[in-house]
Chains A and B, each alone.
Chain A
Amino acid sequence: MKFSDFNSVSWEENGHYYDTCLIPFTGLTGQESPPQTVERLEKLRDYIDRIERPFRGRIVVYPAVQYDIDNKEQLINEICHNVKSSNFRYAIVLDAGGTLIAQDVYESDLPIAIKGFFDDNGVRGIGLATQEIQRMWQKDMNSKCD
């Protein structure tokens, strides 16, 4: 679900089921032409949709971090930390820019790089990403049981 699909009543009612926040990182530099920017955003939207669709009842897609700035890791870490300290248990970062180093976004429970998913590897990439998300939830459940 997108953050905008909720209102205060529906969030009050079902919010506790939505424990995972997905933060997209577009990775624009500002050097892209308007059509290139549109293409990037549309591709990212399609991939978000395909990754999020199987888990529509648990994942909430938040507004994206759009630009590839110098302190992007710090910014993303701060956002992940904030969403986890308020409404969510998990934060997933979806990296469409391909410039994030997984270890640097340490506040994210699961960084997913989708740059390699484009074109022919799309279906495989989506499959792997959805498996990773389930593994993240499963791992947490198992660690609670131990």
Chain B
Amino acid sequence: MSSHNEQEKPALKPSSRKEMSRRQFLTYTLGGATAFMGAGALLPMIRFAVDPILHKKGAGDFIKVAEESKITDQPQEFTFELKQQDGWYASTATLTAWIRKNEQGEIYALSPICKHLGCTVGWNNNKATPDEFHCPCHGARYTKAGKNLAVAPKPLDQYKTKIENGWVYLGDIVPNTEAAKEV
């Protein structure tokens, strides 16, 4: 019986409520406020440090370069300006392209940067090797379509090309696909 009575009586337990001490309260509130303010000051600095990474790359942009009607089967030199962002610095680069129409009437544009060591090639600029691109530095030679004939290890790169409303637009520099079409 006594055990029954004991079961019915709720056991009196000492209060388990935890009270925060004044020291803890101050630590939490002041610490939290300091962390919040610190984060507020640090985040813009971190954001600035990684700023170029947060920006979308401007790849795929095309620039209007030449009138389609002026392109012939002979390579012609065109210069154009490209606005570029190098880290935090914005600058304008002047680029050159050699543009021509191939036998199928397709327009393509070659980069003039020699694939040997980066000099600038010219079209038909060496009397000894007519109708070729020639590099003045170490004598690299390329065909009309940019196929490497001597010295350089690879064909000249070409620009992505787009024709719109009678104008030739040039985009990124990509590996040469034109040389393979050459007979």
Q: Give how many A-B residue pairs fall within 8 Å (CB-CB).
A: 30
Query: Is A34 in the interface zone, CB < 8 Å from B?
Result: no
Mark interface residues in B76-115 (1 if CB within 8 Å of A CB, else 0). Answer: 0000000000000000000000000000000000000010
Q: Which residues of B contact A117 (CB under 8 A)?
A: none
Cβ-defined contact, A56 with B119, below 8 A: yes
Q: Contacts A57-B114, A57-B117, A57-B119 hold; do A17 and B136 have CB atoms under 8 A apart?
A: no
B117: contacting residue among A17, A53, A134, CB under 8 A: A17
Mark interface residues in A52-63 (1 if CB within 8 Å of B CB, else 0). Answer: 011111100000
Give the distance to chain B from A92, nearest Cβ to Cβ, in Å. 14
Q: Which residues of A contact B136 (CB under 8 A)?
A: 54-55, 134, 137
Cβ-defined contact, A58 with B117, below 8 A: yes
- Which residues B128-148 have CB closer than 8 A to chain A? 135-138
Q: Which residues of A contact B160 (CB under 8 A)?
A: none
B118: contacting residue among A57, A134, A137, CB under 8 A: A57
Q: Which residues of B contact A56 (CB under 8 A)?
A: 117-120
Query: Is B116 in the interface zone, CB < 8 Å from A?
Result: yes
Q: Which residues of B contact A17 (CB under 8 A)?
A: 117, 137-138
Q: Which residues of B contact A14 (CB under 8 A)?
A: 117
Quick one: closest A residue to B136, CB to CB?
A134
Q: Which residues of A contact B118 (CB under 8 A)?
A: 56-57
Give the distance to chain B from A117, nearest Cβ to Cβ, in Å. 16
**Docked pose: A53 CA to B79 CA in angstroms:** 14
Cβ-defined contact, B117 with A54, below 8 A: no
Cβ-defined contact, A54 with B120, below 8 A: yes
Give the distance to chain A from B87, nearest Cβ to Cβ, in Å. 18
Give the distance to chain A from B137, nearest Cβ to Cβ, in Å. 4
Q: Which residues of A contact B138 (CB under 8 A)?
A: 17, 57-58
Q: Which residues of B contact A137 (CB under 8 A)?
A: 136
Cβ-defined contact, A58 with B137, below 8 A: yes
Q: Which residues of A contact B114 (CB under 8 A)?
A: 57
**Docked pose: A56 CA to B121 CA in angstroms:** 11
Q: Which residues of B contact A54 (CB under 8 A)?
A: 119-120, 136
Quick one: closest A residue to B121, CB to CB?
A54
**Docked pose: A53 CA to B135 CA in angstroms:** 13
Q: Which residues of A contact B116 (CB under 8 A)?
A: 57
28 contacts between A and B (CB under 8 A): A14-B117, A17-B117, A17-B137, A17-B138, A53-B120, A54-B119, A54-B120, A54-B136, A55-B119, A55-B120, A55-B136, A55-B137, A56-B117, A56-B118, A56-B119, A56-B120, A57-B114, A57-B116, A57-B117, A57-B119, A57-B135, A57-B137, A57-B138, A58-B119, A58-B137, A58-B138, A134-B136, A137-B136
Q: A14-B117, A54-B136 are in contact. List 6 more A-B contacts (CB 8 A).
A: A17-B117, A17-B138, A55-B120, A57-B118, A58-B117, A137-B136
Q: Which 9 A-B pairs have the closest CB atoms?
A: A57-B117, A58-B137, A54-B120, A57-B119, A56-B118, A57-B137, A57-B118, A134-B136, A55-B119
Report which B residues bind A (CB closer than 8 A): 114, 116-120, 135-138
